[in-house]
Every structure is written in structure tokens, then in C-alpha cells.
Structure 1
Amino acid sequence: MPVTVVRFNLVEPGATPASLGARYRTAVEMAAYADDRGITTVQTEEHHGVANNWLPSPFAFAGAVFGATQGSTATHGASSSGGGRETGGRIVVTVSAAIGPLHDPLRLAEDIAVLDLLSGGRLVTVAGIGYRPEEYAHFGVDWSRRGRLQDELLETLLMAWTGEEFRYRGRTVRVTPRPCTRPHPLLLVGGSSKAAARRAARLGLPFFPSAHLPELEAYYKERLAEYGTEGWTMMPPAETSLLHVAEDPDRAWAHYGEHFLHEARTYASWQPDGIRSAVRSAATTVDELRTEGVYRILTPDDCAALGLDDYVLHPLAGGMPLDEGWRSLHLFAERVLPRLDG
């Protein structure tokens, strides 16, 4: 069974508080629907000070998703005879990525511990270092210290989640509550550099390359052997596409292609040379974007026939109208997902 992902970054250019509130609530409702239908993962991310309202608080959003998917009921799809299937409380939320140096280490340790307890261990955090100096300036964090701050953050999280006292910035502290997941909530180190791979290996943490980089995975394994630690790699596939499902892809591209292009151009504008990303686009027009294949609009039949290991649905991309996002999610859940069971 492939991994199935619904991605949310809640972008909406020109939003009003009312429209953005509706978008946030819809995303949570979509996550609950995805959980009910057996989709495995909600993926979200973190960016700050963006004019198009890119989500800045992924852990708050994760908490809302966990609240909407907590526990099991037999209400959905129940028949008059009282039948129904167990739902709720399975879907994982992956924050990919949190910008580690922008977070207070002790506060983040507490927040993740609470979310781990609330969700029963369904939070996955990928800690990246970021690539936008503007975001560091936004918080008054020294860009030149980002490597040292990332080291401190990761080391602090691992010590904090033991529930024991430890030394932090010259004082003795203890973080409570302790999370339920043992030995600690799932924490991966993200990045596309040797420094990121080395940091993950030194701490014995899994490594999440930001693109398909087998040479970096090999370097990570060498460093694991050097440090005498254990770990594993969550490698993106060689080709990653963000998917949208529609009965008529030509019509969908004509009506909604600008939403995908807006997101693609925003994301591309942030990434300096040397940054590798699994979903980086070079397109400048909708036609180029369609040809490129980073964003794909497919019929249910064509989507099911892809034969991917990972299906990443992006129903609200670039400020997508909510009703169109729902149409895509319904088509995927009802006409694609049942055909992926093997």
C-alpha cells in the first residue's frame, strides 16, 4: 500500500481574516475526512512573514488536526442496521519542515511533548535549518549562528524528553510532561547539505534529505559508522509530483493553473543556488508548469495508474477555491485510494 499524503500550507493571496479562517477550518475538516478514508499522512510546513499568508504555525495546526481525528467512532457510513466502520485517530501529521533555530528549544520540547500525548504518538517533526535570511531577521535570530543553534535545539529536545534534569544555558532545567513515545517523539533532521547529514548521524537521528540525493545518503551512512550511531534515511523519490485530481484536467488547468503557478513561483523565489528541493519548479507560465510535471492534474484513472510509492495530494494549493479542493480530495479518496490497496 503506498504512502498517501495530503499537504497543506494554507497559502491564500489577498486573503481576508474571514476567508483565511474558512480555509483553516476547511483544512482541518479535510484532514478528518482523509483520516476517515484511510489516508496515512497530513504534511504541513513553516514559513514566516509571507505576503500570501503561508502557514507560520505548523504545530498549532497539527494540534487542530489531532483534535479533529482523536479517538474512534462508528458514525461515518453507518447503516440503518447500526453498522459502520471504526474511524479516527490514525492519521499522522508530519511537520516538514520546522525551522529549528527559530524556535525556543525548551518551549518546542514542551509543545511537541503535549502534541505527542494528545495524539498518541502521531506527530513527526522534521527539523530543518531554513534557507531564508529574512525569516531569521523576522525573529531577530543571527543567521550566522544557525548551525550552532540547530545543534543546541536538537540536543536540547533529546535531553528534555527524558524527563530528567539537565544543564541548559548554564542552569538546571527539567521539561514536563514527558512524551508518551519511547524513546522520544519521531524527530528527523532535514536538509540537503553534508552538515545536516553529519548532524543527524552524530545524534543518531534519522535523516530526511530535501531531495533525492543518494550520494548524501551514502555520506550519512559513513558518518553513522564513524560516530557509532544508528539511523535511517527517509529519501524522497527521484520524481516527486504534487497531485490534483479532476474529471477534466484541461478544464482544471485552465481554471486553476494560476494557483499552482503562484505557489511554484513563490517557492522558487526563495531558494538560492545550491539548495536542493524535491518539488522545485523552474516554470514561469502555466503551460510550462503543466509540461514540467512538478504539479500534475490527473483524472482518477490516470492517478490510480501512476504506480507510485508516495501519492502527495495538494488540494488547496496556492489559494485554490475550497470547493475545488474538496472535489479533488473526494475524487482521490473515492476513486483512486480504493485501487491502491494492491
Structure 2
Amino acid sequence: MTITTLRFNQVSPGLDRRDLSARYRATVEMSVFADEAGFDLVTLEEHHGADNGWSPSPMLTAAAVLGSTQRLGVMLCALITPLHDPLRLAEDISVLDHLGAGRLTVVAGIGYRPDEYVMLGKEWSERGRLQDEVLETLLAAWTGEPFEYRGRTVRVTPPPRTTPHPGLMVGGSSRVAVRRAVRLGLPFFTSAHDPGLVDYYDSLAAEAGFEGGFATLPPERTAMIHCTEDPDKAWAEYGECFLHEARTYAGWQTSDIHSAMASASATPEQLRAEGIYACLTPEECLALAAAEGPMGSLLLHPLCGGLPVDAGWESLRLFRDRVMPHLEA
């Protein structure tokens, strides 16, 4: 069955305070809409010090979404876990797990912007060690039992609702990240289409006798969809919004970072041809779902790059009315 997902990061290019407030409110209200309409998942993201306000606090947003919905899954994709205090992070995720009755999944990313580490007083060169520490601490903390942490005995309460622990995946695009996931007995979230990483994960897991894990493999091109009756008009009106996000993301990339959302476009026309951002009619959405098959997904990005909130609502309502009934059938 096709997985239907909404992506949110609350980007507001002008950093207008009223616009930012409207986007955070719309994130919650659109999530409630998605919950009632039968969507499967909402994804939230973390970045710090971004000129466009890219959300720095997805756990707070997740709390609002989980507290306002009944069945919708929420994925933090990704949480930059080395930037967080391990014990406080364990507590916060445990509370979110209770609030959402087990609907939360965390993708633990290591990050790729040294500026974020500087801002939060963390050493970029220590990011691997910090990631190991925080993930090991989470797993120990969520047992609910006392454990040794930095030379002292601590205990984190309450224990999470989900056993043995809330949904946790190691994110990344490197073999180092794969080895970390297998060593800790966790699934691996591949940030780019790289079958070799999946094969490497499966090989290491087999060697370790780890049978409960898996590695995801995103499609070669992840299409972030704006559903519309008139794609040409939508590109003319909103192409600069899509380009803003694409250029922001591209400006953060380095040669050793691989991502399913990486774009080299400099104009809306180039971005449209690239296919990462797509304005699709309902019929085209259904054709894409059919082409991807039962394990495919459709990803909507209703507030992308400063897209007007009203335009985001138009996209969601059109998708609910003209796409969702046929996916369910």
C-alpha cells in the first residue's frame, strides 16, 4: 500500500514573525487534517541558525502534533542527536512516546553543518564520539533501570511506553553510520539511494547474528509533491518557493554528503526538469503511485520554502478528495 507522508520544516524566507507563527499553527492543523483524512506519516526536521528559520525544535512541534492527532505517525527525520544532552533527550523522547502512544520514530542523524556544532558548543571533530555516547545512553536510559553515565549512576524515568524502546533509527550515508547501527542493534535510515549501503548493512547484520534490523532504501529521485489542477500555473506562482528550499539545502551540502534531495538547479525551470520537486495533477499522483508499486510512497510538502499557507491547504484538500480514495481502493 502506498505510504502517504507530509513533510514540514516551517521555513519562512523573510523570517516574518507573523508568517512563522502561521506556519507552526498550520503544521499542527494540517497534521490534524491528515490524521482524519487517512494519511500515514508526518516528518519534522532539525536545523539551527538558518537564515530562513528552518525549524530548530522538532520535538516541540512533534508534541503539538502527537497531542492533536489519534493515529498519524510522526518521524523526526532527522534529529541531530549529538547536539542534545543525552539524558534530557532520553526523557523528552520517552514523554513523546507516551504522548503519542508509540507513534513516534526518531532518525538519529549526525549532522553536516559545522556551524550548528559551533553554535551549540559542541566539537565538530568529536561528532562521532558524541553520536556513540548519545545513542548508547538512550538505549540504556530507556530500560528504566539505573546505569553508569559519565562516572555516576543515573536513572531516567518515566520509562517509555514502547518496549524495548521508542522507534529509533541511525541515519546517514556512510559505512561508518552503517557499522554504528549494526553495533547498536538498530535499523539504518539511508539518506540517499545507495543499494551498496543496504547490502553492507545486511552483510554486517548477518555476521553479527542480528536478525531484527533493516536498512531503508529511498528511491533514486524523491519527488516532493504539490498537488494541483494546473502544474504550469503552480510552477509560475510557486517555483521560487521550491527553489528557495532547494538552494538552501544545496548550500549546506559538501562533497562527502549524499542525499536523495540534493539539487544542482539554479532556476525554477531547471528544478522542474530535475524532478525532486513536482507539481502534479491528481491523475499524475495516482500514476506515480502505480509506477512505484505497493511499497511506494507519495510525499507532500505543503509549506515548502515559504509556499503560501492557503496554497498548501489547496494542495492537501485536492489530494484528499481526488487521490486518497483511489489509493485506499
TM-score, L = length of structure 1: 0.93
The partner residue of 1:154 within 131, 135, 147 is 135
| 3-state SS of 1:303 partner | helix
The partner residue of 1:235 within 213, 217, 223 is 217
2:235 is the alignment partner of 1:253: yes
User: What residue in structure 1 maps to residue 297 of structure 2?
Assistant: 310
Taking the TM superposition and a 5 Å limit, the aligned residue runs for 1:1-342 are: 1-69=1-69, 89-230=70-211, 231-306=213-288, 307=290, 308=292, 309-342=296-329
Rounded Cα–Cα distance in structure 2 between residues aligned with 1:153 and 1:68 = 29
More displaced, 190-199 or 18-27? 18-27
Shift, 1:225, TM fit: 2.5
Residue by residue over 1:160-193, the C-alpha shift from the partner in whole angstroms, topping out at 9 and shown as x without a partner, is 0000000000000000000110111010000000
More displaced, 143-152 or 231-240? 231-240
Residue by residue over 1:272-303, the C-alpha shift from the partner in whole angstroms, topping out at 9 and shown as x without a partner, is 00211011111000100011100000111111
Answer whether contact 1:203 1:229 (CA < 8 A) is retained: no
CA RMSD of aligned residues (A): 0.9
The count of corresponding residues between Structure 1 and Structure 2 is: 323
Rounded Cα–Cα distance in structure 2 between residues aligned with 1:36 and 1:109 = 30
Rounded Cα–Cα distance in structure 2 between residues aligned with 1:96 and 1:198 = 20
Gaps of 5+ in 1: 70-88
Rounded Cα–Cα distance in structure 1 between residues aligned with 2:136 and 2:206 = 20
| 3-state SS of 2:48 partner | coil
| 3-state SS of 1:93 partner | strand
Q: What residue identity is the alignment partner of 1:273?
A: S
Q: What residue identity is the alignment partner of 1:246?
A: T
Rounded Cα–Cα distance in structure 2 between residues aligned with 1:279 and 1:24 = 23
Answer whether contact 2:221 2:275 (CA < 8 A) is retained: no
Rounded Cα–Cα distance in structure 1 between residues aligned with 2:221 and 2:88 = 36
Q: What residue identity is the alignment partner of 2:314?
A: R
Residue by residue over 1:45-77, the C-alpha shift from the partner in whole angstroms, topping out at 9 and shown as x without a partner, is 1000001000000111000001111xxxxxxxx
Rounded Cα–Cα distance in structure 2 between residues aligned with 1:151 and 1:49 = 24
Rounded Cα–Cα distance in structure 2 between residues aligned with 1:273 and 1:183 = 37
Answer whether contact 1:246 1:331 (CA < 8 A) is retained: yes
Rounded Cα–Cα distance in structure 2 between residues aligned with 1:163 and 1:289 = 48
Shift, 1:229, TM fit: 2.3
| 3-state SS of 2:323 partner | helix
Rounded Cα–Cα distance in structure 1 between residues aligned with 2:206 and 2:174 = 18
| 3-state SS of 2:170 partner | strand
Shift, 1:140, TM fit: 1.0
Rounded Cα–Cα distance in structure 2 between residues aligned with 1:247 and 1:241 = 17
Shift, 1:32, TM fit: 0.3
Q: Which runs of 4+ in 1 moved over 4 A?
A: none
Shift, 1:15, TM fit: 2.6
Task: Report % sequence identity.
Answer: 60
More displaced, 228-237 or 39-48? 228-237
Shift, 1:227, TM fit: 2.7
Rounded Cα–Cα distance in structure 1 between residues aligned with 2:237 and 2:18 = 23
More displaced, 146-155 or 330-339? 330-339
Gaps of 5+ in 2: none
| 3-state SS of 1:140 partner | coil
Rounded Cα–Cα distance in structure 1 between residues aligned with 2:151 and 2:89 = 19
